[in-house]
A and B are shown apart, each in its own frame.
Chain A
Amino acid sequence: KNEVEQSPQNLTAQEGEFITINCSYSVGISALHWLQQHPGGGIVSLFMLSSGKKKHGRLIATINIQEKHSSLHITASHPRDSAVYICAVSFGSNYKLTFGKGTLLTVNP
């Protein structure tokens, strides 16, 4: 069974700070996803990665397949970035996702 571990569980930052959230998993995967969940429950898919690095605006996601590790970075953080960030993985031809517990990010003005 694939385990997905995220760290930290909770993160508080000041506006403008550089944020890093980490995700590690236990077995080989076909893809890793970063998702954002706002208060009230809505979930948005941010990135899907199978190798390397992706960037979208102030968000950067990287993955190291050999080390089974991914990071999500937020540059110039803003209070509107406050949310739960969730790492999820899929493997093989299985389209199901296994989720981490999430990281609660609070960015204070």
Chain B
Amino acid sequence: EADIYQTPRYLVIGTGKKITLECSQTMGHDKMYWYQQDPGMELHLIHYSYGVNSTEKGDLSSESTVSRIRTEHFPLTLESARPSHTSQYLCATGSSGRTDTQYFGPGTRLTVL
């Protein structure tokens, strides 16, 4: 079972601030994902990575950026937060090999005022 940590769990911040949402995992999984989920809506993939120094944009356009310098970390950054960024952000990992199973972190609930 994967151990995935996201910090902070809750963040309320003003417009224009730069924020970084942290995601870390202890299982050595190659694949990592960031999802955005608005209340009552489906998850949308905004970024993914299949390994160190590999990042791709997901299906939903996002103003955020990600980096994957180490296997265990996949931080997401918003350079200038706006109220439209208010949402829940979920990080997930997938193990190596031909499997699609994903393991989810607890999420970060972001509110931009």
Contacts and interface: CB of A to CB of B under 8 A. Distances in A.
Contact of B101 (A40, A48, A86, A96): A48
A42 B94 CA distance: 16
Given A33-B101, A43-B104, A45-B103, A95 B45 contact: no
A33 B101 CA distance: 8
A30 B100 contact: yes
A41 B101 contact: no
Given A96-B45, A96-B59, A99-B43, A90 B100 contact: yes
A41 B58 contact: no
Given A100-B42, A101-B42, A102-B42, A41 B106 contact: yes
Interface residues of B, number: 27
Contacts of A93: 98
Interface size class of A (residues with CB under 8 A): 20 to 34
Contact of A95 (B31, B40, B88): B31
B80 to A, nearest CB: 25
A48 B97 CA distance: 15
Interface of B: 31, 33, 37, 40-45, 48, 50, 58-59, 88, 90, 92, 94, 98-104, 106-107, 109
